Amino acid sequence: MNNAPSARRLTKLASLFAVVSFALFATAQAEDEPCNYPPKSAIGPDGWINLFDGKDLNGWKLSDVKRSKVHVEDGKIVMGGPTSHLFTDWQFKNFILEADVMTTPGSNSGIYFHTHYQASGFPKTGYESQVNVSHRDPVKTGSIYHWVKLYETPAQDNKWWKQTIIVEGKHVVVKIDDKQVADWTEPADVGNRLEKLGCGSFALQSHDPKSVTYYKNIRVKPLPE
């Protein structure tokens, strides 16, 4: 009788090891690395920092670069094409983030916060504020994905809206055109989940080849810790 492990079993074990290793790495990254705060010189006299100048993607880092079609066009960021994500170089802990957003019909996107750069795939750390008006995913714009699920949204396709995310400690508020749609506090027993508040980057999502979403006027106001 041959007691040697089969090739299939070895492959499964290798895959499991890779997943566990990445989870441990991402957790360490989220908890142990220092926060890459912006310099004070970047903060305007009104306390706000412009994250996008309408001209290029300076200050941002793109994932899945070989296949991504994310680009700047007519003063806005176009998140379209195969799945990829656009991460800010600077990181934040407590903040008010504002972005003007517009979806085309059937599109899905998202704004991640407290996340960390990944070269490929969907972000494993941080939280996502959903951007979706008419995509088949029932979780709509303003949701905090996996935690606060909205099945209706005041946002509309082909029309700009302002999406605001406020984080203070463990408390998160999301607004659409200044209307509060989510008010959530991270539970104390979140444990070792990779989705957790701490400090991290923002990221914009290009969800799939059929989704096209536009972003402009992206700015953040750091809040006291």
Q: What is the 3-state secondary structure (H, E, C) of 79-124?
A: EECCCEEEEECCCECCEEEEEEEEECCCCEEEEEEEECCCCCCCCC
DSSP conformation class of 137: S
Q: Output the CA angle 18-82-132, nearest 5 degrees.
A: 100
Residue ranges per domain, the chain? 7-222
Q: What is the mean pLDDT of residues 96-124?
A: 97
**Whole-prediction pTM:** 0.85
Question: Does the pLDDT at position 25 exceed 50?
Answer: no
Gap between the Cα atoms of 165 and 169, Å rounded:
13
The distance in angstroms from the start CA to the end CA of the chain is 63
Looking at every residue in the chain, the average pLDDT score rounds to 89
Confidence of residue 7 (pLDDT cuts 50, 70, 90): low
CATH superfamily membership of 7-222: Exo-inulinase; domain 1 (2.60.120.560)
pLDDT of residue 9: 58
Give the three-class secondary structure for 8.
helix
